[in-house]
Chain A
Amino acid sequence: MEIVVASSVAVLTAGGVYLILRLRTFPVILGLALLSYAVNIFLFASGRLASGLPPVLSRYGDATYTDPLPQALVLTAIVISFGMTAVLVIVALGAFLESGSDRIDIAPPEDDAAPQESHR
């Protein structure tokens, strides 16, 4: 099970990093989404893995539980990463609508004269 989780984190991170190094906004947003998954799983895994041991207290005396703290942290992280993604999407959208280009790099000066591309 540990290998499953670690390899998922690895693949998601690698995919996310590759995508954030692309030159257009949309792949970068996708890349950040993948990275968010990876980070959330990573944080969650820091509580170690347990199956069948929910963090809900049992009425019937002693029981073993899973670590609730990383779960609480990851729960808010998931919601916040949604907020972050939303803001990024709007920034990307605004930049595209204002400038007509969805590149993330500011073009070096000599490219200024190049004709604006059209996507449609």
Chain B
Amino acid sequence: MSREGVFLLVMSALPFLGALIPGLMIRAGRTACATFAAVPTALALTMLLILAPSVMQGEVIRVELDWLPQLGLSVSFFLDGLGLLFAGMILGVGLLVTLYARFYLSSDDPMGQFYTYLLLFQGAMLGIVLSDNILLLLIFWELTSLSSFLLIGYWKHLPEGRQGARMALAVTGGGGLAMIGGMLILGNIAGSYNLTDILTQGDAIRASEWYLPALILILLGAFTKSAQFPFHFWLPHAMAAPTPVSAYLHSATMVKAGVFLLARMWPVLAGTDAWFYIVATTGLITMVLGALIALFKNDLKALLAYSTVSHLGLLTMLLGFGTKFAAIVAVFHIINHLTFKAALFMTAGIVDHAVHSRDIKRLGGLRHLMPITFVIGTVAALSMAGIPLFNGFLSKEMMLDEAARTGWAGSAWVVPALATLGALLSVAYSFRFIMHVFFGPVRDDYPAEPHDPPFGLWAAPALLVVGVVLIGLVPALVVGPLVAVAGGAVIGGGELPYYSLKIWHGVTPALFMSAAAVLGGLLLLWRHAPLDRVWLAAPRPEAKVIFDRLIAAAVSLARRITDRAHDGAMSRYLAIFVVATVALGAVAWTGGGTPPPTRGLQPVPLVVAIGWALLLVAAVSVVVTHRSRFLALVLISIIGLMISAGFVYLSAPDLALTQIAVETVTIMLLLLALHFLPKTTPIESGWFRRIRDGMIAAAAGGGVGALAYVFLLRDVDTISGYHLENSYVGGGGTNVVNVILVDFRGYDTYGEIIVLAIAGLVIFAAIEALLSGPAAARIRNTNYTQDRSRDRHPLMMVVATRVMMPIAIMVGVYIFLRGHNQPGGGFVAGLVISIALLMQYMASGFAWAQARQRIGYHTMIGWGVLIAGLTGAAAWLAGRPFLTSAFGYVHLPPIEEFELATAMAFDLGVFLAVLGAVMLMLYSLSRIARYAGETQNADPMDFDPSERKTDPKEGV
């Protein structure tokens, strides 16, 4: 990577890195915060200036890093003339705005946040103009929408700010979505997402049948971002943002992103009729309409906002003309507009800051009270009006010159006339800005005493108006080379058309148009008061109202659909789901053929047939008798038992063990829950419904059964051969099922024990919440005594469980230890031991068992997951991937040779997590009993014969 490339990469990353700084520095004070926010910008600007000379000589600097090559997405940047112009604007104005905002924001505003948002925005904007990959460009594009949302809504207490931010996000974000589609089409046509490649394929793209859809979608993105008619309405509402934001986003950078995109795509998309009629017409309408509305706005920032809309329209129109000369004029006007408009926004901010009002009707006569502001504002506004000696004049003359030569749909006068009208209105509102704010009589009812601001506040706009004047006087010297190189980049290389940046072009049509505009504009301003009354009386569509109504309609439509589809009837959702699934299965079935059977039927021994009959009878009985809930539970345990037996017969000893253990805890769990639930299910559904559900059930069951039958008769290629071959060699175990669990697919198992652990914790938390809520009172007030046994802790059971406890634990340990080589393992062992513990709870009571519990179940779950995770991570130390296992054989006399494998430690984690989770679930459930008026038992038995013998007085 070249030195320049590294610079480019660092430059684009700097604002994002810098965004972290203000948040940290705000504790050091506001000035320190602003200073450190300026550092990354200044550094990036310095790098840009270092790169600038080679770019000015026509070189293009590139850098590329792969990101997601499968998607064609790479982190690639390039810096050409156009990029240089925009990057310079973004960083230069960024620096000025940083300075200005330091003095503008009051001490109540969270300044750290402001600078963080500002730098995020700057980074995103810089990314747009430097991206060499259109997918990357789209990412930055959306980032500008998001960060500008934060900036516009910066004053969170202002409802206008929040609404304006939302509207800006909806409009620009929506356009961004359209643009994603357009860019993907473009990339598809060009066969590459690299901008450099796309730019070389202009002819192919314009000839493609997908050109028009791509063009429209991309233009939607550009027009929404650059506030073109009819999407112009968000920009004035975004003016609720603090003025530094308006100056930065809404005059210099973000709204120019759309124009930038038009310029960037100009060599590829421009030059067709579609381009001309869509882009130039939109620009023309926007220019005139924006200027017209601006003339009648009383809020300074609204006036400037609409004037910005108008100038963006002008730029769009110029690019829409599709001629090389117009494209160069657009580039030149981008520079000019930047200088005078940013200065004007800052002036408006200064006035607002000093007078506490931006309402033109309450201002006037400020020229003596605020002389510095007056000079800055006037120079900038004169330039906006297009008065000679200022830079706005030069680009406006060239624009009129080009407009005079442009025909529209066969008519030669439409474009020149409307362009002159736009210029005329522009003169009118610019002079209105000057006359109504600074001239006129000094008033005595200003909301605050007007005064010139401190140097820090006027330094930035002053610098900008110096630029206005210098460019206005000696354009070719100041910006000539920049315009040439940036314009060259826009038109995609080749000869630059003839143009000259100078004040006097001789007596041309443009001069007459310009003169007419100035005279007409002044006339209009003179008659402003009566016109204003007409304007106010005329019916005007209010964009915000329409927008709000559209949003409300969309929301209510969405709500209606949602309410309709999700009416809270879960049985209906489930019915729809089952029917849809069965239907999909049926469609798939009829669509494909089946090969002939390759396996024969296996014989059914008598024992299996009896078990099968038991299972079927139990399953049917569960359905028939499900209203009697205890009975259904007893029947369901028969099913579980038969399935375990079936697993034994069908060579799955591990499954049989697991199934029978899970069956036991499930039944215990359901019994516990049933204690607090109604014991019967009332009859609620009618015959029709039952028959309908029965048909759905029969279809589902029949379909699944048929599917199972069909695949059972056909052979299949599996990957199990690999597992069987490598189980002993690679995993060190002969029980392949266990080796798969703890080794081959250990990662799955790890996830599964975590799921189980979470389920346990969820249950604990749910019960905790339940018992601290209103339900606790309900439990307390319900009488459960009739469900309760008279002999809660029978003597026989207590003694039997006590005797069996060590044996059960021994069995558990044995099953755990042999798991790697014989049926068993952590899952089964955990379940077996939890059953042993549950028996103690059942026999001797909750309180008695709880008092003897040493390790908390939460701790057990935690250790389980931790041990399993650490075992897996230990493989990293050996330089292997996560969960690679190792094993070896140890001979310790007098014990037989035995094996030690890391998989054992993993299985220990599984064991602990399963034990802890199962116990936590049942333990949590039985905690409810305490609230149900259950008596606490400190003794293992209600009636303890041994105690009675020794000390009769202290009996029960």
By a beta-carbon cutoff of 8 Å, the part of chain A in contact with chain B is 1-27, 29-30, 33-34, 37-38, 40-42, 44-57, 59, 65-69, 71-72, 74-76, 78-87, 89-94, 96-98, 100, 102, 104-108, 117, 119-120
Contact = CB atoms under 8 A, between A and B. Distances in A.
A42 B704 contact: yes
Contacts of A57: 724, 727-728, 734-736
A3 to B, nearest CB: 7
B485 to A, nearest CB: 64
B704 A13 contact: yes
A26 B674 contact: yes
Given A57-B734, A75-B655, A78-B662, A44 B647 contact: yes
Interface stretch (B156-164, B388-396, B597-605, B865-873): B597-605
A66 B651 contact: yes
Contacts of B759: 83-84, 86-87
B164 to A, nearest CB: 38
B622 A34 contact: yes
Contact of A2 (B568, B570, B616, B713): B713
B651 A10 contact: no
Contacts of B626: 19, 22, 27, 30
A67 B711 contact: no
Given A26-B677, A55-B651, A75-B741, A67 B706 contact: no
Contacts of A30: 622, 626, 632-633, 636
A104 B677 contact: no
Q: Is the interface of A mostly helix, strand, loop or mixed?
A: helix
Given A14-B701, A20-B571, A76-B827, 13 more contacts: A10-B706, A13-B701, A18-B696, A19-B626, A45-B711, A54-B823, A55-B724, A56-B734, A57-B735, A85-B669, A89-B925, A102-B678, A117-B682
A69 B827 contact: no
A52 B608 CA distance: 14
Interface stretch (B144-152, B329-337, B749-757): B749-757
Nearest to B742: A72
A3 B766 contact: no
B382 interface: no
Given A18-B694, A48-B599, A72-B741, A33 B666 contact: yes
6 contacts: A9-B705, A22-B693, A47-B720, A72-B737, A75-B827, A78-B659
A18 B621 CA distance: 13
B736 A65 contact: yes
B702 interface: yes
Given A17-B701, A53-B651, A83-B759, A72 B745 contact: yes
Nearest to A33: B636
A11 B642 CA distance: 14
A75 B709 CA distance: 22
Contacts of A87: 759, 762-763
Given A21-B574, A24-B681, A86-B669, A69 B720 contact: yes
Contacts of A90: 673, 762-763, 766-767, 921, 924-925
B587 to A, nearest CB: 19
A77 to B, nearest CB: 9
Contact of B749 (A26, A76, A94): A76
Nearest to A94: B770
A56 B723 contact: no
A48 B709 CA distance: 10
A97 B778 contact: yes
Contacts of A100: 778
A107 B705 CA distance: 35
Contacts of A74: 652, 655
B655 A71 contact: yes
Contacts of A20: 571, 574
A8 B616 contact: yes
B662 A82 contact: yes
A26 to B, nearest CB: 6
Contacts, number: 324
B897 to A, nearest CB: 14
Given A69-B720, A98-B770, A15 B603 contact: no
Interface in B775-789: 775, 778-779, 782-783
B575 interface: yes
Nearest to B667: A33
B740 A72 contact: yes
B620 interface: yes
Contacts of B924: 90
B765 to A, nearest CB: 10
B570 A105 contact: yes
Contact of A10 (B601, B701, B779): B701
B649 interface: yes
Closest 9 pairs between A and B when the two form their complex, measured CB to CB:
A10-B705, A14-B701, A106-B568, A119-B678, A83-B759, A6-B709, A18-B697, A68-B736, A1-B602
B670 interface: yes
Contact of B650 (A49, A94, A106): A49
B406 interface: no
B705 A69 contact: no
A79 B601 contact: no
B887 to A, nearest CB: 14
A85 B639 contact: no
Contacts of B737: 55, 68, 71-72, 75
Given A14-B697, A92-B677, A97-B770, A6 B708 contact: yes
A4 to B, nearest CB: 5
B702 A14 contact: yes
Given A10-B704, A21-B571, A102 B755 contact: no
B709 A104 contact: no
B457 to A, nearest CB: 60
B649 A96 contact: no
Contacts of B713: 2
Contacts of B666: 33, 82, 85
Contacts of B570: 104-105
B567 interface: yes
A92 B673 contact: yes
A54 B653 contact: yes
B779 A97 contact: yes
B584 to A, nearest CB: 15
Interface string B605-621: 00011001001100110
Interface string B632-665: 1100100110010011011111110011001001
B709 to A, nearest CB: 4
Contacts of B615: 8, 11
A68 B608 contact: no
A44 B659 CA distance: 12
B821 A78 contact: no
A33 B674 CA distance: 15
A6 B604 CA distance: 13
Nearest to B752: A76
A42 B701 CA distance: 12
Interface string B712-741: 110110111001100110000011110011
B748 interface: yes
B578 interface: yes
Nearest to B665: A82
Interface string B675-694: 01111011011000000011
Interface in B440-454: none
Nearest to B679: A119
Interface in B138-196: none
Given A14-B702, A105-B571, A68 B696 contact: no
B670 A45 contact: no
A63 to B, nearest CB: 10
Contacts of A26: 629, 674, 677-678, 681
A29 B670 CA distance: 9
A105 B569 contact: yes
Contact of A71 (B654, B693, B694): B654
A40 B711 CA distance: 15
A78 to B, nearest CB: 5
A106 B567 CA distance: 8
B758 to A, nearest CB: 8
